[in-house]
Structure 1
């Protein structure tokens, strides 16, 4: 079936040029030598398209190589015999073919099987087509048994582009559209490398609620740039180019993983610690028993666990997180690269945790709950729900600013700290208070209310420029997040558990609590293994209060925020009963309000496409 045999879809009917009417003056034509307007990827026109021409080789070539490997391994003794001589094999099928003179028939059968094999993959490529309309991404495949998969644009949770090392040599990439639901993803394997990037940009633009006219020029420019140069030059450029295009995101929004920190986090990982303890225990057991052969039994386990740790290290190299106009871009990989764009509003909950061994170094790990599952593993060989395998507190705050753009303004943490510290110092007295009184930023009422005229302080040079722009809700959100990670409890903006919760939370009852921020709910728990869960209010599906017999006797209750399934369970136990009821009433009201006003699923709907 050719592309011309497929009728155009009703989504985008043809619009032939019409001559100007007498009532309407003709439109001015551009000069003949004017450059042609740049085009987009050309794959979102609603028509059916085929995959990369190298797809049969990339999908079937691996199977053919595996079959050849089995054959060569089976005939290795015969190959050795050809060079060093031997007695032969009386019952060998090859000897029988040679003896009976069936060599021609055997070669013909192999040629026919090979042709059928190649024809099958070629027909599979011909019958594998896809199209992108204003509503869906649709894929048709199959020769005898046809399948059809559709993914609605308004249910897209992310778009992942994977470039396996062999596919990179052919300039191909695999694009996967992650759609909400179980086994709902739509995969395009394979597309041209540059074409995959352009198609992702076009799909996200269609899903965002705006038209693609605003970015046609940049897409066309990229397409023309990628089309220049020889095939070898293009492949070398793609292999050596950075994972994230420097022109795609501002440098200040890019969060990269430090290589030394990555290596240290793997060494201090539970798997590595268990492996070291196991080796030490085996050495002690072998030394005391006098049987060194005990170590040989652990050799397969050591090799297996060691290979997992090495793979985790290599897969996390060149890790970066950046903010783009269409969401958060997460990329990683050294030989096989992967980068995924998470559109706004697709993060349902965030978990920030700190293992005990990481605390001296100030390292944290971030995970998220999403409404879809990718077939590709994330960095460090973990699930793609791990957004930041390891990072400092500053990295965590910057990633939170990318994932919660309406709550946190990137770079505002230092400004909020300075503003709060200045207020505290001014109200405590000293030379700064005198200077603030002289500039008019502090008066008698300010001493009572604790408020400062930050604009006057900035004009007087007592406050850095831009600090006055940080609003009070933004300061509250930033300080709540920081206190949720580092505070030991007390009067820090959280509603913490009472002393009666000590029998249930021996070490953590002081910091076990919840807080409300602008459009977010924060749940803090753990003193040995610290943990903070951030849930955007528009993503909450329901709220539950539970109370077991022991909690009932202690006057406590448990809170549970239901979100999509994932590694994070937004649950907080050992909360005072009256505080739990207050949480239920307050969150019920704020969550409904936030959900009704949320427009993040159409994040570009208010933009002018021109």
Structure 2
């Protein structure tokens, strides 16, 4: 492990650097092998417990009834009795100590050969004893930084840091660090990725016994913080309280109860139909046996349905409890989870699409949900997991006021003139007059028989806005600066009806950018216009190095309190008129 750089402190004494982003190799927390190998230890403990089960039962029972229990009733070939009978107690003890020593050496080697470093260009992790691996995440491709605290890790004050890369299986994990160090490293990575990391003076401290004492104090402090912070919120120290969007627990439970009720009704209908079909055949034999068989069938089929519905609702509730979203200087910070707490920081310019949707069941309550498309850095199989899908939900359930606040975070540069396209003409549209959306042609209504009047899109200098759905109202925004491509297609039936369909290509995610049944001539003009506007937007977008722009235009000295409002950096271009009815 590299030694800290030395530098003189204010009084001339050496001090130790508190930054791990110094380009040197560092090791993770010493308890990392224990947490990562905890499953193996649990399995071994289970085997040991099974082997000594009879002995443990005898010891437990003999505490309460020492005169009524005989050891031979519980021996059953107990290996302990065999060891004692053959005077091998010392040998057995030495074997146990040897196994523990081997485990300690293996854990120490795993920890010793697991290192990471943060440079001005990359986050690197290397590990392995026999088979070595070296992973690197370029900072200019970082899509976000996730801080995860599993339940056991929280108890001892540890956290897992995951740098989200741009590509399949491109994430780089730092597991585990103390929570304080993990938050510090996260901030360093985001500052480096933004291009605005300020230089820090290094500090160095004494070595030897002082280090051992410091390590003990760090371990003790980490465990204390983990226990005291088990039910407290995290990652709110650098956030203004009024900027945090949270979800009341009652609203979260109510929204999932409504959704779970639909599943229960669906299961109930299936169950009732199945029982109606099976009842005559079962009762035809007559007698109490047939009644018991029918009761057993009902319980055997109905109970799993109820358990499944409750499990689905509880899984979503537990993942969304303690939810909060807030702006920070490094990006949007989202925290969620009850037992395992996940804190995700998404830098600006890493969101490729945003969708606001509302189920017809939530409409009477005015509740909405927001999803995003973003690069996850996970493989296709990993992206199907419920935990990975949770990262695409930035607002599980919220009111319109919550939605507007969250949209201001995830789409901070959405022009004011485009906002009516989201609400008045989008979620609540179409309006009777002056609808700016290009809609599905009436002659192609059969493609969307329920929502053909709403199905459509519009284009502005900022992005493509797509509106669809009646039962589930949805509105998606694809910023042109991060659009991956756009295509138009036309099949034989489309040609006969003189319509076509368009797809806005984004990164893999829950938001699909497709519209069908559009008038073919207007759609082709729209595709050409989108291509031109997307090129202009991508050229002007500074999102990949967001803090450099701020630093470039920052004043050399702080303005006086009487200074006027700062002028905008540049005059925004005049918005183009929407394309033919788009």
For 2:222 and 2:40, the matched residues in 1 are separated by 26
Query: Which residue of the partner structure matches residue 263 of structure 2?
Result: 274
The answer to whether the Cα contact below 8 Å between 1:320 and 1:331 also exists between their aligned partners in 2 is yes
Q: 1:481 aligns with which of 418, 422, 427?
A: 422
1:110-509 to 2 correspondences below 5 Å: 110-213=96-199, 234-245=225-236, 247-269=237-259, 272-279=261-268, 282=271, 290=291, 291-298=294-301, 299-373=303-377, 382-407=389-414, 474-482=415-423, 483-490=425-432, 491-509=434-452
Residue 267 of structure 1 aligns to a residue whose secondary structure is helix
Query: Which residue of the partner structure matches residue 565 of structure 1?
Result: 508
80-89 or 255-264, which deviates more: 80-89
Question: 1:286: Cα distance to partner?
Answer: 5.4
Query: Which residue of the partner structure matches residue 50 of structure 2?
Result: 73
Query: Which residue of the partner structure matches residue 104 of structure 1?
Result: 90
Q: 1:605 aligns with which of 540, 548, 561?
A: 548
Query: Which residue of the partner structure matches residue 519 of structure 1?
Result: 462
In 2 relative to 1, CA 74–236 (structure 1 residues): closer, same or farther, beyond 3 Å? closer
For 1:488 and 1:402, the matched residues in 2 are separated by 26
In 2 relative to 1, CA 535–381 (structure 1 residues): closer, same or farther, beyond 3 Å? closer
Question: 1:227: Cα distance to partner?
Answer: 8.3
Per the normalisation by structure 2, the TM-score is 0.80
The answer to whether the Cα contact below 8 Å between 1:312 and 1:380 also exists between their aligned partners in 2 is no
Residue 406 of structure 2 aligns to a residue whose secondary structure is helix
In 2 relative to 1, CA 551–72 (structure 1 residues): closer, same or farther, beyond 3 Å? same
For 1:376 and 1:243, the matched residues in 2 are separated by 26
512-521 or 68-77, which deviates more: 68-77
Query: Which residue of the partner structure matches residue 487 of structure 2?
Result: 544
For 2:200 and 2:19, the matched residues in 1 are separated by 15
In 2 relative to 1, CA 177–42 (structure 1 residues): closer, same or farther, beyond 3 Å? same
Question: 1:367: Cα distance to partner?
Answer: 1.6
For 2:220 and 2:85, the matched residues in 1 are separated by 55
Residue 447 of structure 2 aligns to a residue whose secondary structure is coil
Task: Compute the RMSD of aligned alpha carbons.
Answer: 3.3
Query: Which residue of the partner structure matches residue 284 of structure 2?
Result: none
For 1:381 and 1:295, the matched residues in 2 are separated by 36
Per the normalisation by structure 1, the TM-score is 0.76
Question: 1:235: Cα distance to partner?
Answer: 3.8
The answer to whether the Cα contact below 8 Å between 1:480 and 1:492 also exists between their aligned partners in 2 is no
For 2:383 and 2:496, the matched residues in 1 are separated by 47
In 2 relative to 1, CA 38–551 (structure 1 residues): closer, same or farther, beyond 3 Å? farther
Q: Which runs of 5+ in 1 are unaligned?
A: 9-13, 18-29, 217-225, 408-473
Residue 585 of structure 1 aligns to a residue whose secondary structure is helix
567-576 or 93-102, which deviates more: 93-102
545-554 or 184-193, which deviates more: 545-554
The answer to whether the Cα contact below 8 Å between 1:272 and 1:309 also exists between their aligned partners in 2 is no
Question: 1:249: Cα distance to partner?
Answer: 2.7
For 1:510 and 1:369, the matched residues in 2 are separated by 26
For 1:542 and 1:170, the matched residues in 2 are separated by 47
1:11-90 to 2 correspondences below 5 Å: 41-82=18-59, 83=62, 84-85=69-70, 86-87=72-73
Residue by residue over 1:286-314, the C-alpha shift from the partner in whole angstroms, topping out at 9 and shown as x without a partner, is: 58564111233233453344234223212
Query: Which residue of the partner structure matches residue 471 of structure 2?
Result: 528
Query: Which residue of the partner structure matches residue 522 of structure 2?
Result: 579
Query: Which residue of the partner structure matches residue 3 of structure 1?
Result: 2
Residue 521 of structure 1 aligns to a residue whose secondary structure is strand
Query: Which residue of the partner structure matches residue 442 of structure 1?
Result: none
Q: Which runs of 5+ in 2 are unaligned?
A: 63-68, 203-216, 281-290, 557-582
Query: Which residue of the partner structure matches residue 219 of structure 1?
Result: none
In 2 relative to 1, CA 379–396 (structure 1 residues): closer, same or farther, beyond 3 Å? farther
In 2 relative to 1, CA 97–305 (structure 1 residues): closer, same or farther, beyond 3 Å? farther
In 2 relative to 1, CA 201–528 (structure 1 residues): closer, same or farther, beyond 3 Å? same
Residue by residue over 1:514-550, the C-alpha shift from the partner in whole angstroms, topping out at 9 and shown as x without a partner, is: 1123411111111222111110101112211011222
Residue 340 of structure 1 aligns to a residue whose secondary structure is strand
For 2:442 and 2:273, the matched residues in 1 are separated by 45
In 2 relative to 1, CA 583–198 (structure 1 residues): closer, same or farther, beyond 3 Å? same
